[in-house]
Amino acid sequence: YHQSGVQQRVAPKKQHVWRCAATTEGRKAPKSQMLVFVPPHPLIKHWVSVLRNDFSPPPIFRSAMAELGRLLIYEASRDWLLTVSGEVNTPCGVADVEFIDPREPVKVVPILRAGLVLVEQAGCVLPASQTLHLGFVRNEETLQPEMYLNKLPEKFEEGARVLVADPMLATGGTIVAALEELTSRGVDVELIRVIAAVAAPPALKILSEKFPGLKVYVGIIDEGLNEKGYIVPGLGDAGDRSFGTL
């Protein structure tokens, strides 16, 4: 896909990346810190640039978001999923193998609307997963997120691994409300992974204060928010752009 409207720079500008507690090196940091990973992968950079581009129509935007989600889930699951050992017959002999235990599906929690698109490929990356939807809408009077859909169980079993998808971590109101729902239902914060396309410092600050031990995987970290709470430069309204809402 050729990106309309993209101006290629001859000498690439040095990218400004705001780092929270750590980058990919941060896996060795103490457990009590929140860690933010911006995986330095060229495909992640590519799909972020497609998402940012104002010319990308909804089908292109959606497929870029789904691809970005696939790569972020892959990165997030690296040191997180447990394997069990076994043995299989190959056509030529017997091999010791390790595989993901199908009895312990990852709980995938998309935050509606746009989170749905970010986890569209989760079933292709994770051999065993289960989707538990959460829907939030902003109350225009209080400006606080209000939950209108909650498919979480009353109590999660011990050791549950939960992947939360919220494409835009802006003020942090929605993601904090979602994580509070999870932790109040018994999920260990160290076993939660959050994936997002773009994050801004206010959201990362509040997450790091409220959820030490959390790991967040993002496509890019931007500089801040505008007066309407949108991330700048960001990519606009992720839900509207995914679904062509006018």
Q: Does 230 bind ligand URA (CB under 6 A)?
A: yes
Please list, residue by residue across 133-170, b when 16 or more beta carbons sit within 10 angstroms of its beta carbon and e when fewer do: bbbbeeeeeeeebeeeeeebeeebeeebbbbbbbbbbb
CB of 196 to ligand URA, least distance (A): 10
Q: Scanning residues 57 to 116, which ones bind ligand URA (CB under 6 A)?
A: none
Where would I find the H helices in 190-237?
201-210
Nearer to ligand URA, 69 or 234 (CB): 234
Nearer to ligand URA, 105 or 239 (CB): 239
Q: Which stretch binds ligand URA (CB under 6 A): 83-91, 144-152, 208-216, 228-236?
A: 228-236
Nearer to ligand URA, 106 or 235 (CB): 235
Residue 70, helix vs strand vs coil = helix
Nearer to ligand URA, 48 or 187 (CB): 48
Binding characters for ligand URA, 139-178, by CB under 6 A (x = yes)? -----------------------------x-x--------
DSSP secondary structure letter of residue 191: G
Nearer to ligand URA, 230 or 243 (CB): 230
Max CA pair span of the chain: 67
Please list, residue by residue across 41-70, b when 16 or more beta carbons sit within 10 angstroms of its beta carbon and e when fewer do: eeebebbbbbbbbeebeeebbbbbbbbbbb
* Phi and psi angles of residue 76, each rounded to the nearest 5 degrees, phi first: -70, -25
Q: Which stretch binds ligand URA (CB under 6 A): 67-75, 96-104, 139-147, 236-244?
A: 236-244
Q: Which of 143, 146, 144, 122 is nearest to 132 (CA)?
A: 122
Q: Does 234 bind ligand URA (CB under 6 A)?
A: yes
Helices (H) and strands (E) in the chain, counts: 7, 13
CB of 246 to ligand URA, least distance (A): 15
Binding site for ligand URA (CB under 6 A): 168, 170, 230-231, 234, 237-239
